[in-house]
Amino acid sequence: MTAFFQSLGLTFEAAWTIATIAGILLIALPLMIAVAYVIYVDRKVWAAINLRRGPNVVGPFGLLQSFADGLKVFLQETIVPSAANKGIFLLAPIVTFTVALAAWAVIPFSSGAVLADINVGLLYILAISSLSVYGVVMAGWASNSKYPFFSAMRAAAQMISYEVSIGFILICVVLYAGTFNLNAIVLSQLGHGFGIVNAYAFNLLLFPMWVMFFISSLAETQRVPFDLTEAESELVAGYQTEYSSMSFALFWLGEYANILLMCSLNTLLFFGGWLPPLNIDLIPWFDIPGIVWFLLKTFFFFFMFSWVMATVPRYRYDQLMRLGWKIFLPISLLFVVLISGWLMLTRFGDEEPVASVAVVQAGPDRGNALVPLATLREPRKIIP
């Protein structure tokens, strides 16, 4: 997009700035509309499983329900409790919302259609998702009220616990793909499963990892059955109890943007992202734009999230901790060892590692300093 703005006669920096802002709007605005409709879908799926009708009054089939809710919330009064710590109280929903949007910068929607195609994309997502706990903790503390505070404590412990196993699961994927770049991870899944399926989940070593990632992403987004932070029967509404109006809506939007992010991560890391499902040319799969596949798969995972919400009862807190630390952590650690062992076995001597080649090449420029590195040691062969 930068090239297009440059062709209008702008300097590179101006063109880059405008192109980036345009890119941000191109991602953020459709995301907000997607969140509105995903809330509608959530309620409809939940209702259908409960044999109810769900929202069906506002607009045809109730399609405008989310916008009506948004308008209602927008027109309410913002109430700040007198005992609250005002600055942090108002900052918390902003942090939640901003962080939920920021992670989308590295998500590839289609081949190369990504705002920031950085080398450490997956690490960036880990970093950003580890920030999202602050919104909850700040809200819980600043409200100066019992139930929000309990909720914040629970949220902090829960998110730290599950981030550990999510980290190990992501390492397994990175080991297979050999890169942190999300676009490259998607491309490395081309024909991965039995030579025809474009997905890591059909690899027998990675399938258990996907199951654990799916469950961990439920816990990380505080969805049912892990919604202990807003357990109605115990904590009123959790950390959102004291919030009203737009500050409440920002939590709501951020929460669903995070859920969509986790769905798209399931798609990107284990189900081939924007690649068509099969790597055969019987039907012109590859002529369909990648974003269609990406959205279809993401939506499928969102459907699974709603499905779980309607069918599974809530975990107790000690059960949640037990699952995270005593089951997911050892299993994911074991699989890191298993997968790296398997890769050492199968990819042995596959190719020269990039870095050691670079060391050798850098030798002449840097004088004698690097010669020992290049001459004394054999170039390593085993890097997956």
DSSP one-letter string for 169-202? HHHHHHHHHS-S-HHHHHHTTTTTBTTTB--STT
Can you tell me which of 6, 188, 244, 356 binds another protein, judged by CB under 8 A? 356
Least spacing, CB of residue 10 vs another protein, in Å: 14
Report 82-101 residues binding another protein (CB under 8 A): 85, 88
Q: In angstroms, rounded to a whole number, what is the distance separating the alpha carbons of residues 319 and 308?
A: 17
Can residue 344 be called a binding residue for another protein (CB under 8 A)?
Answer: no
Give the bridge partners for 193, in sequence order: 197
Cα 275 to Cα 113, 259, 300, distances in angstroms: 13, 21, 15
User: Which of 3, 9, 13, 195 touches another protein by CB under 8 A?
Assistant: 13
73 vs 370, which CB is nearer to another protein? Answer: 370
Applying CB under 8 A, which of residues 3, 75, 337, 358 lies at the interface with another protein? 358
| Cβ atoms of 197 and 278 closer than 8 Å | yes
Give the residues across from 197 on adjacent strands: 193, 278
Residue 132 Cβ vs another protein, minimum distance, rounded to whole Å:
10
Told to check if 355 binds another protein by CB under 8 A, we report yes
124 near another protein, rule: CB under 8 A: yes
Residue 245 or 356 with smaller CB distance to another protein: 356
- Residue span binding another protein (CB under 8 A) among the ranges 67-75, 246-254, 330-338, 353-361: 353-361
| 314 C-beta neighbours (distance < 10 Å), count | 16
Would you count residue 63 as binding another protein (CB under 8 A)?
no
| Comparison of 79 and 369: residue with beta carbon closer to another protein | 369
Question: What mask of x and - would describe binding to another protein in positions 282 to 321, judged by CB under 8 A?
Answer: ------------------------------------xx--
Q: Spell out, one character per residue from 229 to 248, where the chain touches another protein: x when CB under 8 A holds, - when not.
A: --------------------
Beta carbon of residue 143, minimum distance to another protein (angstroms, whole number) = 12
Q: Which of residues 178-217 bind another protein (CB under 8 A)?
A: 180
- Binding flag, residue 77, another protein (CB under 8 A): no
Distance CA 165, CA 276 (A): 29
Identified binder of another protein from the candidate list 233, 365, 375, 378, rule CB under 8 A: 365
**Which residues have a Cβ under 8 Å from the Cβ of 318 and sit 6 or more positions away?**
none
Among positions 142-171, residues that touch another protein (CB under 8 A) are: 149, 152-153, 156, 160, 163
335: phi then psi, degrees, rounded to nearest 5? -70, -30
Least spacing, CB of residue 193 vs another protein, in Å:
26
DSSP string, 280-345: --SS-GGGS-HHHHHHHHHHHHHHHHHHHHHH-PPPPHHHHHHIIIIIIHHHHHHHHHHHHHHHHH
Separation in Å, CA 343 to CA 180, 205, 329, 348:
17, 11, 21, 8
Q: State in angstroms the smallest separation of the CB of 351 from another protein.
A: 13
Spatial CA neighbour of 172 closest among 333, 381, 353: 333
Number of H helices, E strands in the chain: 15, 0
Interaction site with another protein (CB under 8 A): 13, 16-17, 85, 88, 118-120, 123-124, 126-127, 130-131, 133-134, 137-138, 141, 149, 152-153, 156, 160, 163, 180, 318-319, 322, 353-356, 358-359, 361-362, 365-366, 369-370, 372-373, 377, 380
